[in-house]
Amino acid sequence: MNASLAPALMGHAFQQTALMAMLPLIAGRLGLSDPAVATAVGLGMVAATLTIPLMGLTGSRRLVGPALVTMIVCSVGLALLLVVPLAAAPALGALLLLRLAQGMSAATVLVHAQTSSLADATRSRERLAATQSFAGLGRAASAVLVGPLVAIGVVLPMLPAIAGGVWSLATLRRSEPAPAGEASGLKPPRMPSLVLPFLVQTSLGITHVSLAPLLAVRLGGNSVAAATHAGFALAAANLGLLVSHRFLTSKVEGTGLRLAAFVGGGALVAIALWPQPAFVVISSGVVGGASAMLLTHNLHTALERSAARGTSQAAWNATVSTGGLAAGALVGSAALHLGANQAVALAGVLMASAVLAMSRTRKPAS
């Protein structure tokens, strides 16, 4: 686990959470519709998904420095996009390009942090959970602060990502040795181990682009109030993630994981049926905790199987996870035309369906 990367991961997560919560506000600022902005976010993740496996060819360690620089530049670009007047078409194109580069670079940093977590085999799942918590801390802080920050200045939620990237770049241990026996290549894990993260991340992607619009409808079209309440919901989700990683992730197996899939999916369906702001916040904590257990357990299993090809395997997992978020963003943006309630309900069904992949995912490698 490379602690020097924690500020960059937390700052990036802070910014990404703010962007999701600010979706209606950003759309209005750029002169675009909610579905158009959500589609741009989704297409950027799709393009990034196609390039992430290339990290397995060289090892993510060699790419961390350039990736941090790219993250800083993209964050500055997003801040400028929100304050420099542009026509709708150039604004949409710029958003797409920035999201593409940002997704590629952030995934590179995350993959390196994840594979570094396996250095201590006796505590590998605990250390991986701690690494996954970096992003959770950033998302939780963003979810609480996004409303007040936006009220002061629309670019303020972009600043933590810039500061975190600069901090990590300044403290990066460039002389860090490669993990023992690290090999390059593009050998993917068994396909069953990719099904669960794709389903869960697709569910979360739909939820991310649908939650603020759902609350905006409930709150009479007030986009600032919707961003604030969506922020609280995302804070609750990440609090659930942190609690799960602290107390449950390293202990829960089998039946407990299946229960997590059903409970997380049920919570999303409940949000769709009764989108009262307070209930949305409470239920979001359940969704965050359930998804954290499912994703981290699955990733740990895949990394354990991969041995010396840890970078390649983590890259493939990041590919599928990013692809799931991208698919969710695209499906969610399309479903918004039918209604945000329907989109969130679909997310719940997908979350619960992850249980179908679980038995095969947990089988030992042959």
Express each pLDDT in 238-255 by its tens digit: 889 888 888 887 777 888
Mean pLDDT, residues 197-213 taken together:
92
Residues 286-309 have pLDDT tens digits of: 999 999 999 988 887 777 766 555
Which has the higher per-residue pLDDT, 252 or 192? Answer: 252
Which has the higher per-residue pLDDT, 130 or 170? Answer: 170
Q: What is the DSSP code (8-state) at residue 286?
A: H
Which has the higher per-residue pLDDT, 191 or 196? Answer: 196
Which tokens go with 155?
């670019």
Structure confidence at residue 51 as a pLDDT band (50, 70, 90) = low
Mean pLDDT, residues 23-34 taken together:
84
pLDDT at position 175, please? 45
CA distances for 204 relative to 156, 169, 210, 314, 324, angstroms: 25, 30, 10, 20, 8
Per-residue H/E/C for 183-242: CCCCCCCCCHHHHHHHHHHHHHHHHHHHHHHHHHHHCCCCHHHHHHHHHHHHHHHHHHHH
Mean pLDDT, residues 35-41 taken together:
77
User: Does residue 140 surpass a pLDDT of 60?
Assistant: yes
Per-residue H/E/C for 228-267: HHHHHHHHHHHHHHHHHHHHCCCCCCHHHHHHHHHHHHHH
Structure confidence at residue 177 as a pLDDT band (50, 70, 90) = very low
User: Does residue 285 surpass a pLDDT of 70?
Assistant: yes
Report the predicted TM-score, pTM, of the whole model to 2 decimal places.
0.73
Which has the higher per-residue pLDDT, 179 or 365? Answer: 179
Residue whose C-alpha is closest to residue 127's, from 240, 235, 6, 12: 6
Domain positions in the chain: 3-361
Which tokens go with 342?
């329907």
Phi, psi for 352 (deg, rounded to 5): -65, -35
Q: Which residues of 318-327 are buried (b: 16+ CB within 10 A; e: fewer)?
A: bbbbbbbbbb
Residues 321-361 have pLDDT tens digits of: 877 887 898 899 899 889 999 999 999 999 999 998 875 55
Residue 158 and residue 15 in contact, taking contact as beta carbons nearer than 8 Å: yes
User: Does residue 178 surpass a pLDDT of 80?
Assistant: no
Which tokens go with 257?
């994981």
Mean pLDDT, residues 203-222 taken together:
88
User: Does residue 235 surpass a pLDDT of 60?
Assistant: yes
Q: What is the DSSP code (8-state) at residue 307?
A: G
| Cα–Cα distance measured from residue 177 to residue 188, given in angstroms and rounded to the nearest whole number | 24
Which tokens go with 61?
């360690």
Structure confidence at residue 73 as a pLDDT band (50, 70, 90) = very high
Mean pLDDT, residues 48-72 taken together:
74
The domain defined by 3-361 carries CATH number 3.30.450.20: no
User: Does residue 2 surpass a pLDDT of 50?
Assistant: yes
Locate tokens 């035309």: which residue? 337
Q: What angle, rounded to 10 degrees, do the helices at 6-21 and 223-247 form?
A: 140
Mean per-residue pLDDT of the chain = 82
Which tokens go with 240?
């659930």
pLDDT at position 86, please? 87
pLDDT at position 286, please? 96
State percent of the chain over pLDDT 70.
80
| Cα–Cα distance measured from residue 31 to residue 36, given in angstroms and rounded to the nearest whole number | 10
Query: In terms of C-beta density within 10 A (0-12 exposed, 13-18 middle, 19 or more buried), how is residue 149 classed?
Result: buried
pLDDT at position 50, please? 66
pLDDT at position 23, please? 78
